[in-house]
Structure 1
Amino acid sequence: MSTSSLRRQMKNIVHNYSEAEIKVREATSNDPWGPSSSLMSEIADLTYNVVAFSEIMSMIWKRLNDHGKNWRHVYKAMTLMEYLIKTGSERVSQQCKENMYAVQTLKDFQYVDRDGKDQGVNVREKAKQLVALLRDEDRLREERAHALKTKEKLAQTATASSAAVGSGAPPEAEQAWPQSSGEEELQLQLALAMSKEEADQPLPCGPEDDVQLQLALSLSREEHDK
C-alpha cells in the first residue's frame, strides 16, 4: 500500500466521505497511473442513484478546480467525467453541458514540473477533447451507445466467469480481478475506449512518510484491503 493511499484514507476518515465520494477520490488520485475501468464502472453505476450522483459530481467539480502540482487530479477528473458521460446516467452529460465553461477554462491550464516538463499539456488536450464531445450531440449519442454495449458485454462475461468459477474465490476477489482472458480483454478494450492511459511517472516521497505511514495504519488497517 502506497503512502499516498494511506494519506487518502486518513482524509476520508477525517472528512467522513461517503462511499461514492471515496471512489471518486480514488479514481482521481495523484498516483501516476490512470483510474481502473472496474472502478470507473462502479462509479458509473452509482450515478443512477440520485444522492450518489450529487456526491460524485460535486467531488468531480472540486477536483477540476485543482491546479499546479495536482494536475493529475484535474486530468483524471476529466477522464472519469468522459467515462461517466458515456456509461453513466444521462444526468451526467446534462450537468456537464450546463457547466461546460468550467471545462473550457482548462484549455489554458498551465503547469511545468521541477524537471521542466510541461504537464499542463495533458490537461489542455483532455479539455479540448471533452468540450468537443459535449458539443457534438450525434457523436455523443453514438459513443454512448457503443460504450454501453461494451460495458454490457463486460458485465455478461464477468457473470459467466463467476458462475464457472463457482464459490471457490471470495466475492471481493471475483469482483476485482478478471476471471478469464476474454473478460480481461474486454476490460482493456473498455478502458482504452474511454481514455488514454497516462505514462507512469514516479511520485516524490517526502521525509515524513514513515510517520504518516504509522499514523495512517493506526487509523485504518482493513479498508484498503477490500
Structure 2
Amino acid sequence: MPSTIRRQMKNMVNNYSDAEKKVREATSNDPWGPSSSLMSEIADLTYNVVAFSEIMNMIWKRLNDHGKNWRHVYKALTLLDYLIKTGSERVALQCKENIFAIQTLKDFQYVDKDGKDQGINVREKSKQLVVLLKDEERLKGERSQALKTKERMAQVSTGSTQMGFGRGSSQPNLSTSYSEEYGRSEGSPASYHGSSPPPVPSLPRRSGLGLHS
C-alpha cells in the first residue's frame, strides 16, 4: 500500500521514535479510523515522560494540518479524546492549556472533489472535545468509566496488554491463543511459544520417547 510505504520512508528519514510512529499511524490519511488496540498502546505510553512529549508534539502537529489532510486532523482529535479518557492526566492538562488550538477547529473547512463537506467531521469533534475539557465533573466521570472499560478489555485479552509498554503487545496474545488452541489437540505446544529448557542429551537414549531436537 503506497501510503503505508510513504509513511515508513518518512519515519526512517525523520528518525521518528516508536511513540511518534504509533501516533503517525493512528492519525494517517488512510480511510479508516485508528484501531482501539493502537490507541490503547499510545495511551499507555503517555505515562512515560519522554514518550508523552513526543506523542503530544506529534498530535499538535497533526492538528495544524488542513485541506485534503482533514483526516490527520479528525483522527488526531479522535486519538486525543481517547487519551484524555484513558491516558496520563497530563494529556487533559496540556489540552486545557492549549484549548484555543482545539477551539479554532470548530471553523475547519474542507469540501472534497465530490462536493462533500468533510470539514464537518472535524468541526463536530472539536466542539465535543472543548465541551468535555470545560466540564471537570463530566471529564472525571468519563475518565473513570473509560479506564474501567480499558482494564476489562486488558483482562479479556489474557492480561498481557496491562503492562502497556511492550512493543507489539498483540503478539503475546496471539501466541497464547494459539497455544491454548493447539494444547487441546497436540502434546505440548510450549516449546514453540515459550522458552522450554533444552532437552537433556541422555534422555532420548534411555527412554526413546521422541524428544526430538
TM-score range, shorter chain: 0.7 to 0.9
Cα RMSD after superposing both structures: 2.2
- Rounded to whole Å, the distance in 1 between the matches of 2:169 and 2:154 is 15
Runs of 4 or more consecutive aligned structure 1 residues displaced over 2 Å after TM superposition? 170-179
1:95 maps to which residue?
Answer: 94
Separation in structure 2 between the aligned mates of residue 65 and residue 171 of structure 1, nearest angstrom: 30
Task: State the shift of 1:158 in Å.
Answer: 1.0
- CA deviations 1:30-87 (Å, max 9, x no partner) are 0000000000000000000000000000000000000000000000000000000000
TM-score after normalising by structure 2: 0.76
* TM-score, normalised relative to structure 1: 0.72
Unaligned runs of 5+ in 2: 162-167, 178-213
Change (3 A) 1:161 1:67: closer
CA distance, structure 1, for counterparts of residue 5 and residue 135 of structure 2 = 40
Deviation digits for residues 172-218 of structure 1 (CA, Å, limit 9, x no counterpart): 53447995xxxxxxxxxxxxxxxxxxxxxxxxxxxxxxxxxxxxxxx
Over 3 Å counting, the alpha-carbon distance change for 1:161 and 1:81 in structure 2 is closer
Q: Aligned pair count? A: 172
Match in the other structure for 1:222: none
Amino acid in the other structure paired with 2:171:
A
Aligned in 2, Cα 1:55/1:160: closer, same or farther, shift over 3 Å?
closer
- One-letter amino acid of the structure 2 residue matched with residue 127 of structure 1: S
Alignment of 1:58-207 (within 5 A): 58-159=57-158, 172-175=170-173
Letter in 2 for 1:53: F
Quote the residue 1:17 is aligned against.
Answer: 16
SS at match of 1:74: helix
Residue identity opposite 2:25 in structure 1: E
Higher RCO (CA < 8 A, seq sep 6+)? 1
Counterpart-to-counterpart distance in 2, 1:160 and 1:127: 33
Checking the alignment, whether the CA contact within 8 Å between 1:158 and 1:178 is kept in structure 2 is: no
Between the aligned residues of both structures, percent identity stands at: 75
Larger Rg: 2
Matched residues in 1 for 2:21 and 2:169: separation?
20
Deviation at 1:159, TM superposition (A): 1.6
* Inter-CA distance 171–99: structure 2 relative to 1 (3 Å threshold): closer
1:7/1:120 CA distance change after superposition, 3 Å: same
Q: Aligned partners of 1:46, 1:96: CA distance in 2, in Å?
A: 17
Q: What stretches of structure 1 of length at least 5 have no aligned partner? A: 163-169, 180-226
Summarize the Cα distance change of 1:178–1:69 in structure 2 as closer, same or farther, 3 Å threshold: farther
CA contact (8 A) 2:160 2:169 kept: no
